Structure 1
Amino acid sequence: MTALSVDTTPRGVAVVTISNEPVNLMTVPVFLELADLVDDLAHDEAVRAVVFRSAQPDWFIAHFDVEAILGFPADQPTPTELNTFHAMCEMLRTMPKPTIAQIDGRVGGGGSEFALSCDMRFATPSAILNQPEVALGIIPGGSGTVRLPRLIGRSRALEAILGCDDIDARTAADWGWVNRVLPADEITSFVDRLADRIAGFPAHAVAEAKASVVRAESGVERDLLDEGAAFNRTLGEERSQQAMRRFLELGGQTAEGERRLGELAGEIADT
């Protein structure tokens, strides 16, 4: 069963809708489907812009599946090439066409890192962003520690990453985590108009302009390799295993638990 649907407009805007009830959890199958689709869209010359949105009004993508992370091997070698998640995120950042995330509701962990890797992010007032990983004994290992400091600055990135608390949409916009906050009844038309506008411009100029901006972000791949190595090191800690199991016991990955993700992260620390 697919979690993704794609509609392409006459001008070449590919609109990807994500649906994995109840909270759009990024399970391994959903991730693999996303990675394949991102690669296809990047290399499809008929696609001039890409928009990601959710079929679930309360969630964009909750986060990566913690049960799956618990099963990751702890003795992985130091990476010398980007892992598959990092490669997908870099494809979003570097493909020669704009990538836009429309964030309705909550986005956290690997879902937040997916959105961070897009060129632009637009949110509704009800959107909540969170990087809960440190509370679970790991780090944001899907590009969060690399992208957030570049996007919002060192101090705010540390507040988000170390604090593991919910960041409301208005604060995220003030910080630069999202481009702007738009009313729920206006965001889709705004994003569609922007994507269609860009798709109508000469494709070679769009590609060259984006590539020039990407070149200004130096050292990203090197930093992603270091982040991957650091993430792998955390997996070997028994305290990480305990924290992730406690997260699931407290209601993580259920709709009720995910609605209070910031509070839940604090409860892990308390126990």
Structure 2
Amino acid sequence: MAYDDYRLIRITVDHGICRATLDNPPINLLDVPLLTEIGRLVREIAADEQVRVLVVDSADPEIFIAHADVGLILDLPADDLGLHEELSLFHATTELVATLPKPTIAVIEGVCRGGGCEFAMAFDMRYAALGATVLGHPEVAVGIIPGGGGTQRLPRLISRGRTLETILGGMDVDAATAEAWGYVDRALPPERLRRFVDRLAKRIASHSPMAIAAAKRAVDIALDPGVDMTTGLRIEDQLFRETLAQPVARQLLQAVIDSGAQTREFELGNR
């Protein structure tokens, strides 16, 4: 699939990895045009059998996404106070990312606040640059609350108390603290960050697409508050058997045995 006519995202696809670099100067504002392109990209990736992993980063080494477009927020009607049945554009876009059946990785370097954080939280995995990345939620300081999923996704990542500290305090969270809290999965020195993500993405992309999708679905089932442990185990068992039914899985398993697996020498040699 050709990823053409994108103005705000640079896209390359190679060996199953789609690398999407956000490029919306001067501050990578998360505005309607960028949200629209992100939504289009995720839909195209979902339909592209050649893509197995999505990696998103920024063309600006100092800013991942500054925040959501304040003008867009001010354009919302002040008298619309009811509960909506449909998701907002922002929520719908982040849900597209969160529910993509293919693994997603956000590479966060530099400033990432407000809507930028909410966008990043929709990814399966997040990696940040030590000494460079700052995450923050300044919304309460200007009289509103996070409106792009921050109040819903952040507690699931870092706990209620830390979420309230972050949102109510409005203070930036550095990369090392974000890693300790679970806001990001790893914080790495800038010179190691992209090498690590590239290596991880290549490893994931080398695996069976069906196994990747099944593993992601099984993990998401575990986090569903409406699914108890017994049901989760039954679904895991079903997904396991579905992957095992694939000829490629049986071939790979037999190749492992043929290579000497399950011997002491093999197992200790792979430490």
- Residue 123 of structure 2 is matched in structure 1 by 118
Contact 2:39 2:96 in 1 (8 A): no
Which of 60, 66, 70 does residue 70 from structure 2 map onto?
A: 66
TM-score by length of 1: 0.78
Aligned mates of 1:39, 1:86 — CA distance in 2: 15
1:144 aligns with 150
Q: Which deviations, in whole Å up to 9, do the C-alpha atoms of 1:35-71 show, x marking residues without a partner?
A: 2112222232221000000010110001101122111
| Amino acid in the other structure paired with 1:114 | F
1:42-61 paired onto structure 2 within 5 Å:
42-61=46-65
Counterpart in the other structure of 1:98: 103
Aligned to 2:27: 23
Q: Residue by residue, what CA displacement relative to the aligned partner does 1:219-256 show, whole Å, maximum 9, x if unpaired?
A: 69xxxxxxxxxxxxxxxxxxxxxxxxxxxxxxxxxxxx
Q: Tell me how large the CA RMSD over aligned residues is.
A: 1.5
Q: CA deviation at 1:22?
A: 1.8
Shift in alpha-carbon separation, 1:199–1:95, aligned structure 2, 3 A: same
Distance 1:68 1:81, change over 3 A: closer
Give 1:3's aligned residue: 8
Which residue of 1 is the match for residue 242 of structure 2? none
In the TM superposition, residue 164 of structure 1 has moved relative to its aligned partner by 1.1
- For CA contacts below 8 A with separation 6 or more, give which structure has more relative contact order: 1
Q: Deviations over 1:109-142 (max 9, x none)?
A: 1111110000000010110000111112111111
1:171 to 177, 187, 194: 177
* Preserved CA contact (<8 Å) 2:42 2:100: no
- Name the CA distance, whole Å, in 1 between partners of 2:86 and 2:148: 14
- 2:198 pairs with 1:189: no
1:79 to 79, 84, 98: 84
Cα deviation digits, residues 15-44 of structure 1 (max 9, x gap): 000111221111221111112112222232
**Deviation of the 1:81 alpha carbon:** 2.4
CA distance in 1, matches of 2:79, 2:106: 34
Would the aligned equivalents of 1:124 and 1:169 in 2 still touch at CA under 8 Å?
A: yes
- Judge conservation of contact 1:93–1:214 (CA < 8 Å) in 2: no
Which is further off, 73-82 or 180-189?
73-82
Between the aligned partners of 1:83 and 1:196, the Cα distance in structure 2 is 34
Q: Helix, strand or coil for the counterpart of 1:129?
A: strand
Q: What is the distance in 2 between the residues matched to 1:189 and 1:14?
A: 16
SS in 2 for 1:186: helix
The counterpart of 1:129, out of the listed 132, 135, 149, is 135
Q: Quick one: which amino acid aligns to residue 182 of structure 2?
A: G
Q: Does structure 2 conserve the Cα–Cα contact (< 8 Å) formed by 1:42 and 1:91?
A: no
Q: C-alpha separation between the residues in 2 aligned to 1:217 and 1:108?
A: 26
CA–CA distance in 2 between the matches of 1:110 and 1:214? 23
Q: What is the match of residue 266 of structure 1?
A: none
Query: Residue 217 in 1 paired to residue 187 in 2?
Result: no
Deviation at 1:215, TM superposition (A): 1.9
Q: Which structure has the larger Rg over C-alpha atoms? A: 2
Q: Which amino acid aligns with 1:159?
A: E
Gaps spanning 5+ residues in structure 1: where? Answer: 221-271
Taking the aligned partners of 1:110 and 1:100, their CA distance within structure 2 comes to 17
Q: Which residue of structure 2 aligns with residue 88 of structure 1?
A: 93
Residue by residue over 1:196-223, the C-alpha shift from the partner in whole angstroms, topping out at 9 and shown as x without a partner, is 1101111101101101112223369xxx
Contact 1:27 1:64 in 2 (8 A): yes
In structure 1, give the amino acid aligned to 2:167: I
- Confirm or deny: 8 A CA contact 1:64 1:110 kept in the other structure: yes
Name which of structure 1's ranges 35-44 and 122-131 shifts more when overlaid on structure 2: 35-44
